[in-house]
Structure 1
């Protein structure tokens, strides 16, 4: 696919993400995506065969961006605290963005895929390995405490996803993500790193 095709796919994903955040996964149709992108059915189907394929790509891309951020930053030798702050600031921003949350759509998407290999478990493992790499890197640089990496990862992931999910059901004060981020830093950072 050429540059124009890649740009069209990115445009479709951007527009579809807004629809999925607004309507959930189950309520978005290919017709809805045609309308919001102003593409013909043929134009849309040239890039995506279904809402499932499109949504799966949106989720995969999110994890790839996170993994790339961790890997590239570690390869550059950036301080672990700097990498952590960048990702936690992104998480905080996303937790405060109740309109852009895909949490309900993610829940609907994965709950409707009973007969397939559990893609959500794969996503969980990919995310875990990214975080494990960052935490090990921070420990090796003496920026992070020796911690139960799996336990800290679970706290980060499930707290983040929980706030994203609850923000669709009730108002979440802006201070909540801030308090969560501070507690994650307390779990990870060595005293000298915090100063």
Structure 2
């Protein structure tokens, strides 16, 4: 079991058995993790947009977190999630990673369009910028588990995306 899940069990006072009494399967555990991460960020974006916070400020805050997460190869769930959801025994009809991807795309496009409408962002292809963000983030998270990646890489990548996006 992944170290992050283990630490969450410790913090929550659950044993491994307690975790499996709460969740019926490993699939349900991974589904809960993916959904929690997805909705947490979506709620954060929506709330800040509703408050009228600068799109650049929202982007900067998210990218600071992403840079930290991208540099932290020890706590990445990317490979575990990839391995689990590419397992042929996992139902393709559920397709939780595709659902998560589409949800992330919607959330990011709302932020990008918000920034464009406010005149803070260039009039960019929002699909392409979303793909740059998500594939840079997930790619570094996954590769950092396999090979040593300089801690400078995430910052360079995110700065380049900002240079394309921010006026």
TM-score for both structures, normalised by structure 1? 0.77
Query: Which residue is 1:141 aligned to?
Result: 118
Structure 1: 5+ residue runs without aligned partners? 1-14, 22-32, 191-195
User: Structure 1 stretch 49-58 or stretch 146-155: which is displaced more?
Assistant: 49-58
Contact 2:31 2:96 in 1 (8 A): no
Aligned positions of 1:120-131 closer than 5 A: 120-131=97-108
Q: Relative to 1, partners in 2 of residues 1:45 and 1:168: Cα closer, same or farther, differing over 3 Å?
A: closer
Q: Relative to 1, partners in 2 of residues 1:145 and 1:177: Cα closer, same or farther, differing over 3 Å?
A: same
Query: Which residue is 2:42 aligned to?
Result: 67
Contact 1:147 1:188 in 2 (8 A): yes
Counterpart-to-counterpart distance in 2, 1:17 and 1:75: 36
1:39 matches 2:12 = no
Contact 1:131 1:153 in 2 (8 A): yes
Q: Relative to 1, partners in 2 of residues 1:143 and 1:17: Cα closer, same or farther, differing over 3 Å?
A: farther
Aligned match for 2:27, one of 32, 41, 52: 52
SS, match of residue 77 in structure 1:
coil
Query: Which residue is 2:165 aligned to?
Result: 188
Contact 1:103 1:161 in 2 (8 A): yes
RMSD after superposition? 2.3
Query: Which residue is 1:170 aligned to?
Result: 147
Structure 2: 5+ residue runs without aligned partners? none
Query: Which residue is 1:91 aligned to?
Result: 66
State which structure, 1 or 2, has the greater radius of gyration over its C-alpha atoms. Answer: 1
Question: Larger relative contact order (C-alpha < 8 A, sep ≥ 6)?
Answer: 2
Q: Relative to 1, partners in 2 of residues 1:179 and 1:48: Cα closer, same or farther, differing over 3 Å?
A: same
